[in-house]
Amino acid sequence: MEDKRAGFVGLGLMGNLMAANAISAGWQVSGWNRSPDALTRLQDLGGVAVARIADMRHLPTIVFMLPDLPHIEEAARGLLESWEQNPPAPHTVLLVMSSVSPTGIQEFGRRVREVSAGNAQVVDAPVSGGTKGAADGTLAIMAGADDEEAFHRVEPLLGSMGTMVRHLGPLGAGSLAKACNQLVVGTTTAALAEAAELAERSGLDPAALFEVLAGGLAASRVLDIVGPRLAAKDYTPTGPAKFMHKDLSFVLAAAGAVGAVTPMAAACVELYGELKRQGLGGQDLAVVRQAISNLSHGAAQAAEGTLAP
């Protein structure tokens, strides 16, 4: 009989919605979050709040949805220490659904396997689809697992949160796929932001422009979802823009490891780094339009200074 117990570590914008869908699908969810408000929401949905992540040590699957791998490693420290003393049951899975370094997750997987006496392993399964996909349960989930059986054990849980669930290879494959996803999303969003700024400064309505683009070869899911926010200059967070800088840095690291050239990623790492320097990192990804506008303003001021007598 399928064991439908799962732990969730990190109940933020994405994690809270993902856990809610798991509960709706019949999973018994235990959750931990630094903010107590998120735990109250989980309990209202029928989940159980735990005081310590180590209290999840007996669960067959523990999901981590925290900003980056260092946060996960810190949060999991007590859990792993408990496993060193008393190893978990065989086939335990730590399911990392955050966007993390493809090489870093492999090292974390080796550490987990070592401290658990081989009874636990890591599966990386980052997601794409944003808060809308998380709310609707339609996330695209790209997974990496050294043991394909481990993937199949967590596949029903993943299926409660996403409609496209694919095992792509060994541990780290999911994170590499997510890095490629972010390369496309990050560069496309930046290109649309440039188009919106160019159009508006030239007297065109960006919303009307995007409507026309959606009927041609430039049509994309990024245009459909992010385009309206870019046109309206609506930067209410659905996911902090600063994370794109992190994710594109993973692209550069992965490319360097295999000798691939990624000029678009390199350019956008600089752009999203500039976005963070401007103090815009906590706003929505669409705020890259504001970052570009600020650069344009700065360039115009510099040009005026050059031409001044």
**What does the block give as tokens for 23?**
């509960």
Backbone angles phi, psi at 207, to 5 degrees: -65, -45
Please give the helix or strand (H or E) that residue 6 lies within, else none. strand 5-9
SS (H, E, C) 17-86: HHHHHHHHCCCEEEEECCCHHHHHHHHHHCCEECCCHHHHCCCCEEEECCCCHHHHHHHCHHHHHHHHHC
**What does the block give as tokens for 143?**
């997974």
- Alpha-carbon distance 17 to 130, whole Å? 10
> Is the CA virtual torsion 13, 15, 16, 18 positive or negative?
positive
Judged by DSSP in three states, 23 sits in: helix
- Alpha-carbon distance 195 to 201, whole Å? 10
Judged by DSSP in three states, 155 sits in: helix
Name the one residue in this structure whose structure tokens are 């070869």: 217
C-beta neighbour count of 201 within 10 angstroms:
10
Closest CA to 105 of 77, 142, 141, 145: 145
Name the one residue in this structure whose structure tokens are 């996911």: 239
Please give the helix or strand (H or E) that residue 225 lies within, else none. helix 221-232
* 145 alpha-carbon distance from chain centroid: 18
**What does the block give as tokens for 102?**
């493809």
Q: Are 209 and 195 in contact (CB under 8 A)?
A: yes
Q: Are 7 and 54 in contact (CB under 8 A)?
A: no
Residues labelled catalytic: 178
